[in-house]
Amino acid sequence: PRTSVITGSASGIGKATRELLEGRGERVIGVDIHDADVVADLATTDGRTAMVDAVRTAAGGSIDAVYAVAGLALPAPATVAVNYFGTVATLEGLRPLLAGSDAPRALLVSSMAALMATDDELVALLAAGDEPAALARAEVLAKEPAATGQLIYSSTKLGLSRWVRRRAAAGEWAGAGIPLNAVSPGIIATPMTADLIATPEGREALLGIVPMPLNGIAEPIVVARLLAWLNSPDNTHLCGQVIYVDGGSDVVLRGDSV
Ligand code: NAD
């Protein structure tokens, strides 16, 4: 059976993915800040290093797939640390462990929020890989009105989608036989969105910003099924894509751009 590592495995999309894979008889090493096989704080460099070490030990040296799902939606610098730098460190740190697999796969979870307003300065600092400066910029944005705080989240997700586009064709990914992709969900019913979608008024307001003409707000299993296919041996050629599983938000917002 394949061995997969899932960050954010304790809740929401990560948890649904874990249950789906385990239901198929696959082995999952869950990573999270609580209730996981490997408990680690992906907001810190020490936590990221400890996570890679613990996964290597738990896996016995080799893994088949990485699902970088963990994320935060707080209008705070921690969102930059977890969403962008924690995700990139997860994929880069665990990549060597994929070398022993005959069907290595990797993906991250971005968001359709990447299509919303973002902060150019923060996005540029993410592209430069400058964590201290990116955290400092987020500190400034966090002190501004709530609408500006949302820029932190959307900027981290734009940064992640672009990171996949920049890295996927490189020697260490495609060149090493590893498809690397991003999945961008629309609104998914998880603890991350629970407060926002608890009332009909809340749901209506959110769907006004994130239109989902096809079937509306989705359950996390919907995303999990796509993640599981992308990271399965069946995916031999889907590479460097940012796939929207969003009930149509992307087509509503971006029309016929491709
Ligand atoms: P969730 O809050 O249910 O799960 C996120 C998990 O990440 C939690 O278990 C949490 O403990 C973990 N995590 C947070 N900080 C961490 C840290 N420092 N170290 C380790 N683990 C940490 O949310 P979800 O909706 O399942 O989100 C999963 C991913 O999907 C996130 O990247 C999120 O941005 C993305 N996403 C969610 C939605 C949505 O509508 N729910 C939409 C688009 C994208």
State the closest ligand 1 atom to the C-alpha of 78, by its place in the atom list counted from 1. 18
Does position 61 have pLDDT exceeding 90, yes or no?
no
pLDDT digits (tens, 9 = 90+) for 222-232: 999 999 999 99
So what's the pLDDT on residue 145? Answer: 81
Atom of ligand 1 at shortest range from CA of 81: 18
Distance (Å) from CA 18 to ligand 1 centroid = 14
Domain residues for 133? 3-187+216-245
- CATH number where 143 lies: 3.40.50.720
Q: Is 153 a catalytic residue?
A: yes
Average pLDDT over the chain reads: 97
* Atom from ligand 1 closest to the CA of residue 110: 44
Domain annotation covers residue 11: yes
Our count of domains for the chain comes to 1
pLDDT of residue 64: 98
Residue 193, domain member (yes or no): no
Confidence of residue 69 (pLDDT cuts 50, 70, 90): very high
Over residues 21-34, mean pLDDT? 98
Angle 146-167/87-94 helices, nearest 10 degrees?
20
Task: Look at the chain and count its residues.
Answer: 258
Instruction: Kindly state whether residue 90 falls inside one of the protein's structural domains.
Output: yes
Spacing, Cα 69 to ligand 1 middle (Å): 6
Angle between helices 87-94 and 45-59 (to 10 degrees): 40
What is the mean predicted confidence (pLDDT) over 10-31? Answer: 98
ipTM of the complex: 0.99
pLDDT at 168: 98
From 67, 84, 153, 244, active-site residue: 153
252 found inside a domain = no
Q: Is 80 in contact with 135 (CB distance < 8 Å)? A: yes
69-77 average pLDDT score: 97
Cα gap 53→94, rounded to integer Å: 9
How many percent of the chain have pLDDT more than 70? 100
At 114-127, the pLDDT tens digits run 999 999 999 999 99
Note whether residue 102 is domain-resident: yes
Pocket test for ligand 1, best of 190, 203, 246, 250 (most atoms within 8 A of CB): 190
Decide if 86 is inside a domain: yes
pLDDT band at 149 (very low <50, low <70, confident <90, very high): confident
d(CA 90, CA 32): 12
DSSP string, 75-106: SSHHHIIIIIIIHHHHHHHHGGGGGG-SS-EE
Contact residues of ligand 1, CB 6 A cut-off:
8, 10-14, 32-33, 41-43, 69-73, 82, 109, 111, 185, 187-188, 190-193
pLDDT of residue 144: 87
Mean pLDDT (whole number) for 75-91: 98
How far apart CA 22 and CA 230 sit, in angstroms, is 16
Beta-bridge partners for 67: 6, 107
- Give the mutation target among 192, 212, 223 for probing the ligand 1 site: most ligand atoms within 8 A of CB: 192
pLDDT above 80 (res 146): no
Structural domain contains residue 60: yes
Residue 210, domain member (yes or no):
no
pLDDT tens digit sequence for 96-108:
999 999 999 999 9
Residue 148: the pLDDT is: 78
What is the Cα gyration radius of the chain? 17
